[in-house]
Amino acid sequence: MLAAFLAIGLAPLLAIAQVDTDSVGPTTSYASKADNKICNVLDYGAVADNSTDIGPPISDAWDECKDGGVVYIPPGDYALNTWVDLTGGSSCAINLDGILYRTGTDGGNMIYIEHTTDFELLSSTSAGAVQGFGYVFHAEGSIDGPRILRLYEVEDFSVHDLILVDSPSFHFSMDTCSNGEVYNMIIRGGNEGGLDGIDIWSENTWIHDISVTNKDECVTVKSPAQNILVESIYCNWSGGCAMGSLADDTDISDITYRNIYTWSSNQMYMIKSNGGNGTVSNVLLENFIGHGNAYSLDIDQYWSSETTAAGDGVQLNNITINNWKGTEEDGAERGPIRVVCSDTAPCTDVTIEDFAMWTEEGDSQWYLCESAYGDGVCLESGDDYTSYTTTVTVTAAPSGYSAPTMAADLTSAFGTDSPIPIPTIPTSFYPGLTPYSSLASALPTSIYPV
């Protein structure tokens, strides 16, 4: 089995494919859909009294407008007591300008959209939200409640200008989707594991200008996934961005994370697995700024929080880490570079360059590499892939590590025993960068007519 891994390592360094940002998103404009038909949920029995269940009106409006129109939820407070399973849409949109408050207690997905094409989910006021009231579950020690939003087999889509708050479980999952764009969102969850921000296992998708607060995944790629671009992400007191957990039949390739700002989180980026098989190839992690995080770069193929899967390990090949700046919480306790690869599936063609981070506590830090081959810091070079462990201790700060902070950096996490307030969507997600797209609320009303 090791010979097969070595053959992969000897292959030429591969270029990392980029998402064609012109090929993602709906193929028909919202205005054209609205011109065809608007299904206002108030006409289907919805009442903005934060008591009447809006689930059936949303489903009925969807049935009327899913073949070419807009489901419109006007501003106001609505109770969501029964979940909505919206399927079979084509050339349609949902405009959530109101706030949905969870009152139901079922598991599953509060909003589930599947088998749909040319689709847009948005708030034209950039104030539409779903309040999951997850603290009701979390205060009793449970994270087995519903997810807020899941997309399954959705093509040519966008999700934007939405606020997702305090999900009982995951906040937003994209499963087997393609040609999507997700942007201008804020997600705020409790300070507990299992409350992921955005999870994606899909292809040809662009995720940008997102802020996440929680204590688990910020924006995470899972398997299978191909051609994913994640950029301008603000992990503001979060678990941090990651890939995994990876196990059997892993198939991930051509992934770029760029312009990622991470504050007071578990890590800046982690690739995590324990045993398993398959491949991760062509990954670029560039322009990362971090402050106050426990870990910085953490590749762990013996991740103890995951049950060991059968197999020799997931093969990681052509992984580039470039231009990381800032500070970690305590570099003597948790060094800023930790690349721990499988002895039976060593990482190959790993590059770590322009990496300048320094500790906030003490006066030393370390870099750790195990069975990882490539160029930079403690990595071994060459193609004689044998098991090794190298630790490098540094007692002087690297030049150029200083990096800016963000004005909205939180001073504490949100708890798990009281409601989390509904925030507004920020206008900055990475120091010095303007978001790619204006908030919908700043656009002419002709773009998103209601």
CATH of the domain at 360: 2.160.20.10
Determine which one of 156, 166, 216, 300 is catalytic. Answer: 216
Domain annotation covers residue 1: no
Whether residue 419 sits in one domain with residue 362: no
Tell me which of 291, 298, 300, 349 is the catalytic residue: 291
Specify whether 251 is located in the same domain as 268. Answer: yes
> Is residue 56 located within the same domain as residue 187?
yes
429/388 same-domain check = no
Q: Are residues 271 and 373 in the same domain?
A: yes
Do 293 and 190 share a structural domain? no
Domains of the chain: total: 2
Do 125 and 34 share a structural domain? yes
Q: Could you tell me if 52 and 140 lie in one domain? A: yes
Digit-by-digit pLDDT tens for the chain (450 residues) are 333 333 333 333 445 667 889 999 999 999 999 999 999 999 999 999 999 999 999 999 999 999 999 999 999 999 999 999 999 999 999 999 999 999 999 999 999 999 999 999 999 999 999 999 999 999 999 999 999 999 999 999 999 999 999 999 999 999 999 999 999 999 999 999 999 999 999 999 999 999 999 999 999 999 999 999 999 999 999 999 999 999 999 999 999 999 999 999 999 999 999 999 999 999 999 999 999 999 999 999 999 999 999 999 999 999 999 999 999 999 999 999 999 999 999 999 999 999 999 999 999 999 999 999 999 999 999 888 999 999 999 999 999 999 999 999 999 999 999 999 999 999 999 999 999 999 999 999 999 999
Does residue 4 form part of some domain? no
Whether 7 maps to a domain, the answer reads no
Q: Say if 229 falls within a structural domain.
A: no
422 in the same domain as 369: no
216 catalytic? Reply is yes
Based on the domain organization, do 428 and 394 belong to the same domain? no
The answer as to whether 447 is a domain residue is no
Residue 14 lies in a domain: no
Residues in a beta bridge with 329: none
Domain assignment present for residue 33? The answer is yes
Structural domain that includes position 65: 19-223+410-442
Residues 424, 341: one domain? Answer: no
* Residue 243 and residue 136 in one domain: no
Is residue 9 a part of any domain in this protein? no
Is 160 considered catalytic here? no
